[in-house]
Structure 1
Amino acid sequence: MTRLSDILEMLITFDGISRKFVLPSIIDKLRLESFRGNTPHGLGEDSAAISTNSDDVILLTTDAIVEDLCLQHPRAAGFNAVLANVMDIYAAGGVPTSFAVALSYSDQQIGEAILDGLISGSHTFKVPIVRGHTNPRSSSTYVVGSATGVVEKEYLLTAGGAQASNVLVILFDRKGKRGLHYNLGWDSVTDRASDSVVRRLSVMNDIAVMKLVTASKDVSVAGIVGTAAMMLEYSGKGGIINLDEINRSRPRSVPLEDWLRMYISLGFLLATTEEHIPKLKEIAKAHGLSACRIGTVDESKLVKLSLGDEERILFDFKKGSVLTPRNDHD
């Protein structure tokens, strides 16, 4: 077995990726059977984009936090519910405008700690909590958040716009550390002032206005590779993810095998053209972030990993949907 073979097996069985395998059947059922409204960008996107009568679109997103984190680290669970939603809004080029939450628990101390985390997150990301639902006598413990945002129509970023010959670039903050409560998390938020966090996130607003990218996603719990695979599939494309490039740009304190799977708290994956990379690097640096290329897009509908002289197929979208199927029903 080579190192690349070991990495391939590790990624296929990684929970952050494997939990996504159920999505195609759910998304297809919703696309085909639920009521169709005027939402040109919905299922499969980080944020749904809802048309209005103005030049703006309303962004809407939802994220839940796993029960284990709610029980073991409730304050962190509340905070991360806000973080996850806010990242989705910025990934679409927007600015968050409100946050709503559903909170369920049986232990009052846990419920109060989750609430404290939500309040802390609202201050860090400068988003008001405007609505909520609480069940204090539940047999399960969870927090589910939803956020709204706004972006001008012409600046809306999509997760499905990657084109063949595009370059895949990751934006992230090198000044971070492993998450205190999640070993596969890169935390660049909790030690920063709110203004510093928002300034870094606003990089996506500048990138959207300058129209420097064809596709955008925040780096989710699926990690760098899983997020890239989701973008490629939703775009109807394939690509090569270059692990040597990722290895060169990773934080030195984090081994490659961990970095590939990490949830990056201020991380975005972009598809762009070669000529826009210098400007992307310039804008990222101005916002305190690094912009590092990690791969390329092609028409193969294969997600391939390369390391040294070896190349292996991770996913073959020609065989069927895997993670986030392209919306062919529109």
Structure 2
Amino acid sequence: MIVRDLRPGVPADTEGFARVRHLALPYILFTSESIRHNALHMPPEARYRPLIAEEDGEVIGTAQVHLAHDSTEPGQGLLNVYVRPDRTGRGAGGLLLRAAEEHLAAQGATRVFSWVLDEPANRAFAERHGYRGSRSAHFLRRDLVGSALPPEPEIPPGVELRTAADFADDPRPLFELDAETMLDEPGDVDYELTDYEAWIEQHWKHPLLDRDLTVAACVEGRPVAFSVAYTDGGTRYATAMTGTAQSHRGRGLAKLAKIHSLYRARAAGITEAFTGNDTGNDPMIAINKWLGYEICATEVRHVRELD
């Protein structure tokens, strides 16, 4: 058993990383291309270090490790460790966690946050290594084939629906909406988007981003609510972000954008959709329930203070 750095240019590494994540966390989309993109385009100040645990030449565990570089509070580290469900109990998780914490400590992190599936073995592992549970979030799934979507709401006067593809020449309005809505995103770590060029490289050019299925509600030509769609090149779809500018909340525009995105996804041959919810985000929980999503798993954010 060895733990080493992921090699972004080696397909066996990126494919192995994506395979482990898909088996351990099937509610989020991962592909070899998305793993490579993240490794190459995270901002340098994030000190991003993807790790893999390898046994007899097979990738059986992974860790995403980086600083919360865009947080308003310095010294916060983020790490997520996952091991193939059929390869647990062999020490890979502990080796990955130790290497990740050592890296974050060397980069000045004093506190580490980690998402942990809300299952007895996973939580026991986290607690055994000094992590305490914090807030929680749900993964939700919707079958786009077996049941009908709710009727599309009427588009309010003065509102126009556009896709991200319509902003291909100038995506800055979408960046500005993303930056505003992120400020209100529930979580233990506060984030602030300020670097447009970094956003372009990391998010706008992300290989999972589906610009044709990402829908924005626009007023006077500017997006004021949106639902960002990721697809894996096959039949799976995931919501990356849904939000509304403060000045236009309470009008149902996020719900409007999200259901239109789902209708477009179904027409494009998508068969299952995933999304996520902080358990305290009641407005979004209500929207997803109305859309027909059902909870399929829960994860708990854990935190540890580093010595």
TM band (smaller chain):
under 0.3
TM-score for both structures, normalised by structure 2: 0.28
TM-score for both structures, normalised by structure 1: 0.26
